[in-house]
Structure 1
Amino acid sequence: MEEESRIGDELSISLLTAERLRVSVDESESFKTECSEVGKQVDRLAQMLRTLVRLVSSSQQVYDRPIRRVIVDVKKNLERAFSLVRKCRRHNVIRRVCTIINAADFRKVINLLESSNGDVKWILSVFDSDGDGSFGGGIVISLPPIATNDPILPWVWSLVASIQMGKLVDKIEAANQLGSLAGDNDRNKKIIVDEGGVSPLLKLLKESSSTEAQIAAATALGFLACDEDKVRSIVNQLGVPIIVQVLGDSPVRVQIKVATLVARMAEFDPVAQDEFARQSVIKPLVTLLSLDVFVDDLQLSKHNSIHSLVQMNKDIEKDPSVKIYRPYKSSKSNVYRDIGGSGSRTGNVKKERDNENPEVKHELKVNCAEALWMLARGNVANSRRITETKGLLSLAKIVEKEVGELQYNCLMTLMEITAAAESSADLRRAAFKTNSPAAKAVIDQLLLIIKEVDSPILKIPAIQSIGSLARTFPARETRMIEPLVKKLGSSNQEVAITAVISLQKFVCPENFLCTEHSKNIIEYGAIPLLMKLIRNFEQQVQLQCLVLLCYLSMNASNHEQLEQAKVLTVLEGAERLASLQNPELRELVSKAIYQLSLYNAGSHSQMLSYVGP
């Protein structure tokens, strides 16, 4: 109401100036013809200003951006006209001689007033689009004089006004057009945000009972969420709670668009990441992603016994990461209870979701997986929240059974969670215990991809994930080392270098079991493959291989394969190259050379002692 009062005051001031100008026109003694033309323009302008004041004062909501922009010019033009007409009143002889007025001044003023009339008339056409004196808020395509140099601006004004004040059909059409406009270029996005387009879109998303309206609003917001500043504007408009609520209690087609919006906002703004987590978006995302994931496992086959199913349920119940998920019963289980909403609406949404075709459900899962990926990216707290649901087990199951974009998004989510676990000992201990069924399922699927999938796009995140979990594997657990060593011989350079970096994490000093892992890596034939990489690939690959070779030499300097491959000679030759790099690499090479030199010198002394004088 304060906002409406202020814009009403601005309009009243302009109207008062117009009335004072009209009085001055009546009092003019010179240039009467020109003053009369000014009076006609002022009469039309004053009449439209009165109509606009009535519309604004009678409405509970008003989109005031175009009014504020226009009223500034209207006031300026009225004041200029008032100053000119005042000079035409009766004055003494000296005042008339000193006051220089010509017809050109009036032509300029009259043109300015005509422009103001056109601007106000355009505003009335937007706000009173039905032509019946009501506050319509329809879409108007014509251009006001104020925006002839920027036709996008009035278009945005008209669309935003229609979304905020129009009928439902107009709101849907305007939101679709606004989304299309935002999708064209970044400048359009900035204009929409600057001109207050975010708030009406959020209101349409929240309050509309129309699926089409919600989809249109979510799509437009998704286009706007293209960088940190624009995402932050959505957050600052309290958009996150609205988005989370709609995600929880809307039809599948709406949830698809809203999940995409969550992904875009989390991708560009860490503040949005944290705000979504505070509003508990992760639980409904995981629940939606898990729809029907476990249903196929419930079907009893000839290979399943009652004992095996009971044991499986016991294993799952032991894992706190899946404690909210209860034993599988049927496709009509209560998995939907975790999604927001209540009463008949929730029941209707659940029924619609059950009856939705598989392609639409699949698209929803793809978008939910991407949203989880973006929420987990670089965020330890969100990664922990995902593991505290049944997220890990769901992600592993989807990676196992799906292909294409859904599999990839889930795999990238796992990669982000494992990267967070690498930097957080608490998360490693909580989510990736060796006896955890969820952790075991994740590792099994990662290894399966590394061993059997040909696509580097999938292999690389799987290899990175195993490397991130290097400190969780005991010394006896060697099944992940052999496939990583084999990937050192990959023809794809990026796969090979990713394997090198992952193996570094097994043998670096921060890994308590670096000595045992080093011996296993050498036993699986890593040294010849590393030597080949150093010989055949570019410098960046060589440097990473050099780091791994140094760790292996320092941890297992007495291994015969190091001597057979003449690793000491290679490191001595690489010391000059290392000297050109950072001091840490130079120091690492020096330590490895020293360690190997000590072992070789000791071996040589033992051999001389054995042979005798």
Structure 2
Amino acid sequence: MEEEIKIGDELSTSLLTAERLRNSVDESKSFKTECFEVGKQVDRLTQMLKTLIRLITTSQQVYERPIRRVIIDVKKNLQRGLTLVRKCRRHNVIRRVCTIINAGDFRKVINLLESSNGDLKWLLSVFDGDGDGGIEISLPPIATNDPILPWVWSLVASIHMGKLVDKIEAANQLGSLAGDNDRNKKIIVDEGGVSPLLKLLKESSSVEAQIAAAMGLVLLACDEDKVRCIVNQLGVPVIVQVLGDSMVSVQIKVATLVARMAEFDSVAQDEFARMSVIKPLVTLLSLDVFVDDVHLSKHSSIHSLVQMNKDSSLKMYKSSKSNVYRDIGGSRAGNFKKERDNENPEVKHELKVNCAEALWMLARGNVANSRRITETKGLLTLAKIVEKEVGELQYNCLMTLMEITAAAESNADLRRAAFKTNSPAAKAVIDQMLWIIKEVDSPILKIPAIQSIGSLARTFPARETRMIQPLVEKLGSSNQEVAITAVISLQKFVCPENFLCVEHSKNIIEYGAIQLLMKLIRKFEQQVQLQCLALLCYLSMNASNHEQLEQAKVLTVLEGAERLASLQNPELRELVTKAIYQLSLYNAGSHSQMLSYGVGP
């Protein structure tokens, strides 16, 4: 109910209480000296309350949070003073005897009123009548135990009501304060710091002000609750508009803000998609990607792809150069076209890095957003950047592709639409993943590439075996994480959910997977061993008559695994039992010798 009462009404009620207290002071018959001191404090309070009311009624925008906090205490202290002073009026003898007051009671009330005067004086210094809103960092009595609070109040008030230079300084200081610790972030959000930052980002014509506002929001967007607060303040439409309607230096920070919000909150992911943020991000990422690039191709497959898509790619590029900023932004977008075209490569690169990260976070765990990226020619752009670039930009694009392929694994419609066998964009993605797996000596890049190929396992026909051999070779990697990722990806080729599991199993065995799996089981820890056993079981069930299984004594290994006390996974136990049964049937047929295990399929 407190928040629903208008701030003007709160002040008027406090002023009325102050006037009643003043009248009671005039009517006092005892403790006249103490009542006189109370009256002096009330007179100051009354004057400042009137000034504050005039300021509220004449100002177009007022930051109410500190006013409400101060007025709550002012009302309590005035009411306490009124209760005390009323006892000093003339009463009958019995009433005077029963009413026991002393000078100590007055001293407490006078101290409280003096604190209220200090709080109101501080408020007036922040909300001055000139609309300057300068940054006031003095310490009001109400915040003696928490000096950060008045600082935040002063900064937020300055962003609300100050001149442009004060707003920029306050936004920068607020960002610095938020960067110190999580408690400061919470105070800023709780005290209403999000709304003025969004307004500054949206309405300011100053690039410096927009950057300061965006960075402040980036630092606040550190967990789900704070991101949700930005969303609830209708921040998503503002952010999307600024992304398409600003200078490159502003877009860089805003793209980072999109990434942080999407990283921590699934609701923000959906809201950004609903406001069509993916199209501008892909467009900004794709600028200059397809121009004068054919002769730079590292791989003949991508070279052919660029040739095949030369007309459409150049058309998309030219369209984006001339029209995209109008499409993705507001009315000011065209004013920044020339600035973007002439921007130096380092700045453009930074923008692409942040746009790629934003796409990564939007796609992470989100099938709908992954589909939207594929519908905006995003796959081809991402694949091309993975081919051309190195460092953070390449990594962010690779991680975006990994998230899209993971979404395709879980969604058959997306898998069929985006990763059709004859799709040039899908072919480009697969080519780049295989190139990274085979040629790039970096586990950080190899792991998402291997995961992506595994996620697409159900899209490959039986005749398509070129991705099998690189995955099998990675089983021999000295890096444990690379090896176990390859194991898990190969499981997706041979698990029962894959219609071609039998054909894939035979190919995997032919490329030498059995011996490598045996080495992994002996070499690495239990986590790797269990994953290797799962893959070994699938291979045994799908290709139990393969001679390499018998030569490697896989049946003996599985029998030992079944007896391992550490094998606590019920699903894996069942898998091992079925694999033993399949191998035993084959061995019985081959050697005319039946081994009884007492198990069935």
Deviation digits for residues 291-330 of structure 1 (CA, Å, limit 9, x no counterpart)? 11111326799999999899623xxxx9999996xxx669
Secondary structure of the equivalent of 2:497? coil
- Hey, what does 2:268 align to over in structure 1? 272
Answer whether contact 1:156 1:192 (CA < 8 A) is retained: yes
Counterpart-to-counterpart distance in 2, 1:246 and 1:237: 16
Q: 1:91, CA displacement in angstroms?
A: 1.7
Pair 321,73 (structure 1): closer, same or farther in 2 beyond 3 Å: farther
| Per-residue CA distance 1:26-71 (angstroms, 9 max, x = gap) | 1111111111111111000100000000000111211111110011
Task: Tell me the secondary structure at the aligned position of residue 4 of structure 1.
Answer: coil
- Report how far residue 4 of structure 1 moved: 10
1:135-284 to structure 2, matched below 5 A, reads 138-284=134-280
Q: Report the CA distance between 1:580 and its aligned residue.
A: 3.5
Asked whether the equivalents of residues 199 and 237 of structure 1 are also in contact (C-alpha less than 8 Å), the reply is yes
CA, structure 1 residues 609+211, in 2 after alignment: closer, same or farther (shift >3 Å)?
closer
Structure 1 position 577, deviation (Å): 2.4
Taking only the aligned residue pairs, the percentage that are identical comes to 91
Following TM superposition, by how much is the alpha carbon of 1:390 offset from its aligned partner in structure 2, in angstroms? 1.3
* Structure 2: distance between partners of 1:432 and 1:335: 26
Q: Evaluate the alpha carbon distance shift between residue 131 and residue 311 of structure 1 in structure 2; reply closer, same or farther with a 3 A threshold.
A: closer
State the match for 2:493 in structure 1: 506
Count of equivalent residues: 600
Cα 1:607–1:577 change in 2 (3 A) is closer
Give 1:235 deviation, angstroms: 0.7
**Structure 1 residue matching 2:332: 3-state secondary structure:** helix
Matches within 5 A, 1:442-521: 442-521=429-508
- Contact persistence 2:386–2:397 (CA under 8 A): yes
CA, structure 1 residues 64+83, in 2 after alignment: closer, same or farther (shift >3 Å)? same
Shift of 1:98: 1.9
Q: 1:299 to 1:508 in 2, by over 3 A?
A: closer
Give the secondary structure class of the aligned counterpart of 1:608: coil
How far apart, CA to CA, are the structure 1 residues paired with 2:100 and 2:79? 18
Partner residue, 1:319: 311
Give the conservation status (yes or no) of the 8 Å contact 1:284–1:339.
yes
Shift >4 Å, 4+ stretches: 1-5, 129-133, 298-311, 318-324, 328-338, 606-613
SS at match of 1:217: helix
Preserved contact between residue 147 and residue 153 of structure 1 (Cα < 8 Å): yes
* Contact 1:231-1:269 within 8 A present in 2 as well: yes
| Aligned-partner Cα distance in 1 for 2:571–2:68 | 61
Asked if the contact 1:579–1:586 (Cα under 8 Å) also holds between the matched residues in 2, the reply is no
For residue 468 of structure 1, report the CA deviation from its aligned partner.
Answer: 0.3
Alpha-carbon distance in 1 for matches of 2:31, 2:52 = 31
Instruction: Deviation per CA, 1:159-179: give whole Å up to 9, x if none.
Output: 111111111111111111111
Deviations 1:554-609 (A, max 9, x none): 01111110000000000001111278422211111011001001111111139999
CA distance 1:232–1:45, shift in 2 (3 Å): same
Distance 1:131 1:421, change over 3 A: closer
Q: What's the offset of the Cα at 1:94?
A: 2.1
Match in the other structure for 1:298: 294
Could you say if the C-alpha distance between residues 393 and 301 of structure 1 is closer, same or farther in structure 2, counting changes exceeding 3 Å? closer
Q: How has the CA–CA distance of structure 1 residues 230 and 386 changed in structure 2, closer, same or farther, with 3 Å as cutoff?
A: same
Q: Please give the per-residue CA displacement for 1:170-199, whole angstroms capped at 9, x wherever unaligned.
A: 111111111111111111111111111111
* SS at structure 2 position matched to 1:447: helix
Aligned-pair Cα RMSD in Å? 3.9
Give the conservation status (yes or no) of the 8 Å contact 1:119–1:146. Answer: yes
Structure 1 residues 409 and 310, CA, compared in 2 at 3 Å: closer, same or farther? closer
Change (3 A) 1:516 1:132: closer
Q: Deviations over 1:521-540 (max 9, x none)?
A: 00100000000001111111
Q: Return closer, same or farther for 1:506/1:609 CA change in 2, 3 Å cut-off.
A: closer
In 2, distance between residues paired with 1:529 and 1:306? 32
2:80 corresponds in structure 1 to 80
The answer to whether the 8 Å contact 2:325/2:334 transfers is no
Note the C-alpha offset of 1:376: 0.3
CA distance in 2, matches of 1:116, 1:150: 17
* Contact 1:298 1:329 (C-alpha < 8 Å) held by counterparts: no
Is residue 419–residue 468 contact of structure 1 (8 Å, CA) maintained in 2? Answer: yes
Distance change >3 Å, CA 300–CA 23, structure 1 → 2: closer
C-alpha distance in structure 2 between counterparts of 1:249 and 1:21, whole Å: 56
| Contact 1:321-1:387 within 8 A present in 2 as well | no
Deviates more, 1:87-96 or 1:492-501: 87-96
CA displacement 1:64-96 (0-9 Å, x = unmatched): 111100111101101111111111112222222
Q: Is the 8 A contact 1:449 1:462 kept in 2?
A: yes
Contact 1:321 1:389 in 2 (8 A): no
Relative to structure 1, the CA distance from residue 236 to residue 188 in structure 2 (aligned partners, 3 Å threshold; closer, same or farther) is same
Change (3 A) 1:612 1:407: closer
CA distance in 1, matches of 2:590, 2:301: 59
Deviates more, 1:84-93 or 1:203-212: 84-93
Match of 2:412 in 1: 425
Cα deviation 1:369-399 (Å, max 9, x = unaligned): 0000000000000000000011000100110
User: 1:321, 1:388 within 8 Å by CA — same for their partners in 2?
Assistant: no
Determine if contact 2:561/2:567 at 8 Å carries over to the other structure.
Answer: no
Measure, in 2, the Cα distance between the counterparts of 1:362 and 1:312: 26
Residue 337 (structure 2) aligns with: 350
Give me the whole-angstrom Cα distance separating, in 1, the residues matched to 2:515 and 2:302.
50
How far the C-alpha of 1:100 sits from its partner, in A, is 1.3
Given that 2:132 and 2:161 are in contact with CA atoms closer than 8 Å, whether structure 1 keeps it comes out as no
* Distance change in 2, residues 1:424/1:5 (3 Å): closer
Deviations 1:93-148 (A, max 9, x none): 22222221211111111100000000000000000075999xxxx21010100000
Report if the CA contact (8 A) 1:578-1:586 is conserved: no
Distance 1:272 1:147, change over 3 A: same
Greater shift in the superposed pair: 90-99 or 425-434: 90-99
**CA pair 602-214 structure 1, distance change in 2 beyond 3 A:** same
- Give the drift of 1:339: 2.7
Residue of structure 2 in register with 1:126 after alignment: 126
2:375 counterpart residue number? 388
- What is the TM-score when the length of structure 2 is the normalising length? 0.94
In terms of mean alpha carbon deviation, does 99-108 or 483-492 score higher?
99-108
Unaligned runs of 5+ in 1: none
TM-superposed CA distance for 1:5, in Å, is: 7.5
Superimposed CA distance per residue, residues 426-460 of structure 1 (whole angstroms, 9 cap, x where no aligned partner): 11111111111111111111001001111110000
Q: 1:236 to 1:407 in 2, by over 3 A?
A: same
**Alpha carbons of structure 1 residues 119 and 335: separation in structure 2 relative to 1, 3 Å:** closer
> In the superposition, relative to structure 1, how do residues 567 and 43 fare at CA in structure 2: closer, same or farther (>3 Å)?
same
- CA gap of 1:319–1:102, structure 2 versus 1, over 3 A, is farther
CA distance in 1, matches of 2:525, 2:208: 54
The residue number in structure 2 matching 1:66 is 66
Do residues 547 (structure 1) and 534 (structure 2) align?
A: yes
**C-alpha separation in 2, matches of 1:319 and 1:102:** 94
Deviations for 1:331-370, whole angstroms, at most 9, x for unmatched residues?
A: 95655454323xx722221111111111111111011000
In 2 relative to 1, CA 338–466 (structure 1 residues): closer, same or farther, beyond 3 Å?
Answer: farther
The answer as to whether partners of 2:132 and 2:163 remain within 8 angstroms in 1 is no
Instruction: State the alpha-carbon separation in 1 of the partners of residues 452 and 303 from structure 2.
Output: 34
Quickly say closer, same or farther: Cα 1:575–1:301, change in 2 above 3 A: closer
Distance 1:606 1:570, change over 3 A: closer
> 2:158, 2:170 within 8 Å by CA — same for their partners in 1?
yes
CA distance in 2, matches of 1:141, 1:18: 28
CA 305–542 in structure 1, closer or farther in 2 if over 3 Å, else same:
closer
8 A contact 2:132–2:162 mirrored in 1: no
Cα gap change, 1:302/1:294 in structure 2, threshold over 3 Å: closer, same or farther? Answer: closer
Structure 2 alignment gaps of length 5 or more: none
CA shift in 2, pair 1:338/1:516, >3 Å: farther
